[in-house]
């Protein structure tokens, strides 16, 4: 996407940096601008803007504006902007929101997948695969999400327990040979109770899989493996939609990685009754 290309452009000039910075800060305004109005807003020139567009493989600003507008409209940020506006308008119909939400879901999951480092996901999956017990930590909405993940882990033949704060008495009994692995979730990575839990577990030699939106936080540094999620920058109207989608995708990814070794025993004949399927008897 052009937004990604702008962020990763090699060796931009000082004027190009001004243009890129302005576009990234005001993406919803690009559709109504000309190369001259953008030049005026950034104290550069229309010729500089044309050169920047050609660096991006485009013929000029008109093509850039057209492509950027389309891409922004389906990006997580663009969809968030569209959704926030109708949500404060009493005249919006439920059909309008129904049409926007599926695209927003898809975009949030896509953005989350881009934030993840494949090697880190593989390391986290390996830790869970070898664990005899998985200790899950989360407060608030994370506690509810961890309870759901605990159920998934149990279907994958893993013993799981959920905690909303550092379980001091249990942690002090653990050693690196205990077979325990911890998964700790924090939306921003700034939750003190989760930072404390991750730190205590790490000191006892327990591998910690940390999940948050900030890979440079104290919380992330206390984790053995940190998985960075996508989330909205502020606690806006849709943060309770965005965050569960993002972390839910990561948890489903980890759960699915455990399934290959469990498929034969998970979905046997008894499962047919659970899913409402009739058992076929051979004559």
Q: What is the per-residue pLDDT across 168-180, written as a single tens digit (0 to 9) for each?
A: 888 888 888 889 9
Contact 259, 156 (CB under 8 A): yes
Indicate the SS3 state at residue 136.
strand
Q: What is the mean pLDDT of the chain?
A: 85
Compute how many other C-beta atoms are within 10 angstroms of the C-beta atom of residue 10.
Answer: 5
**pLDDT score at 53:** 93
Q: What is the pLDDT of residue 31?
A: 87
Q: Does 193 have pLDDT greater than 80?
A: yes
Does the pLDDT of residue 164 top 80, yes or no? yes
Identify which has the larger pLDDT, 83 or 161.
161
Structure tokens at 276: 């409402």
Rounded distance between C-alpha atoms, residue 227 and residue 252, angstroms: 13
Q: What is the pLDDT of residue 98?
A: 81
Cβ distance 137 to 184 under 8 Å? yes
Which band of pLDDT confidence, cut at 50, 70 and 90, is reported for residue 282? very low
CB 210 within 8 A of CB 222: yes
Mean pLDDT of 258-279: 57
Token pair belonging to 113: 């997948």
State pLDDT tens for residues 47-94.
999 999 999 999 999 999 988 888 887 676 676 666 666 555 666 677
Question: Would you tell me how many other CB atoms lie within 10 Å of the CB of residue 259?
Answer: 13
For residue 192, is pLDDT > 70? yes
Which pLDDT belongs to residue 195? 94
Whether residue 265 has pLDDT greater than 60 = no
24 or 274, higher pLDDT = 24
Contacts 24+ apart (CB under 8 A), 197-203: 197/137, 197/163, 197/165, 197/166, 197/167, 197/171, 198/137, 198/222, 198/223, 200/166, 200/168, 200/171, 201/135, 201/171, 201/174
- Please report the pLDDT score of residue 283 as a whole number: 45
């Amino acid at each position: 996407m052009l937004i990604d290309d702008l962020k990763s452009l090699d060796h931009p000039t000082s004027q190009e940096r001004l243009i890129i910075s302005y576009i990234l800060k005001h993406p919803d305004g690009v559709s109504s601008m000309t190369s001259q109005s953008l030049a005026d807003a950034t104290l550069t020139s229309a010729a500089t803007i044309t050169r920047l567009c050609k660096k991006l493989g485009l013929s000029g600003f008109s093509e850039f504006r057209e492509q950027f507008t389309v891409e922004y409209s389906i990006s997580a940020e663009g969809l968030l902007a569209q959704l926030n506006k109708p949500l404060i308008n009493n005249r919006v119909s439920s059909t309008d929101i129904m049409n926007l939400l599926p695209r927003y879901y898809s975009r949030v999951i896509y953005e989350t997948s881009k934030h993840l480092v494949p090697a880190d996901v593989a390391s986290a999956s390996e830790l869970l695969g070898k664990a005899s017990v998985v200790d899950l930590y989360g407060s608030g909405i994370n506690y509810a999400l961890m309870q759901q993940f605990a159920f998934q882990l149990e279907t994958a033949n893993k013993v799981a327990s959920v905690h909303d704060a550092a379980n001091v008495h249990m942690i002090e009994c653990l050693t690196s040979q205990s077979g325990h692995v911890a998964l700790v979730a924090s939306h921003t990575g700034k939750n003190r109770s989760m930072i404390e839990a991750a730190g205590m577990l790490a000191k006892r030699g327990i591998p910690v899989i940390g999940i948050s939106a900030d890979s440079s936080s104290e919380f992330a540094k206390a984790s053995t493996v940190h998985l960075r999620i996508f989330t909205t920058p502020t606690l806006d109207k849709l943060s309770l939609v965005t965050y569960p989608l993002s972390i839910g995708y990561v948890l489903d990814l980890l759960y699915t990685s455990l399934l290959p070794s469990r498929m034969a025993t998970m979905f046997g004949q008894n499962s047919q009754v659970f899913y409402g399927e009739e058992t076929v008897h051979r004559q």
